[in-house]
Amino acid sequence: MRALRKLFGFLTLVGIAFAGIVIYRRRFVARRERIDLYFEDGSLLSFEQGSDGAGRLLPLAHQVITAARS
């Protein structure tokens, strides 16, 4: 009975740790900054954080967001 309770406690801890990792990844790792440009011909250019395009455009987007909330 005692061993079963220990096992249950261990499994609960593992479950909590796993849920924590999933939540952390969703909030901070999966959400990367990016900028999408849509053109009139229907084409799309997407710049992920770290690319040249994003390096120029993302700071300006941050400025827009900051200015809108000031």
Q: Which residue matches tokens 């969703």?
A: 26
Buried b (16+ CB within 10 A) or exposed e, 25-61: eeeeeeeeebbeeeeeeeeeeebeeeeeebeeebeee
The partner residues of 68 in beta bridges, in order of sequence, read none
Q: Please identify, among the stretches 5-13, 15-23, 58-66, the one whose residues bind other proteins according to the rule CB under 8 A.
A: 58-66
| Nearest distance, CB of residue 12 and other proteins, angstroms | 31
**x/- map, 9-48, other proteins, by CB under 8 A:** ----------------------x-xxxxxxxxx-x-x---
- The verdict on 51 binding other proteins (CB under 8 A) reads no
Return residues touching other proteins (CB under 8 A).
31, 33-41, 43, 45, 53, 56-58, 60-70
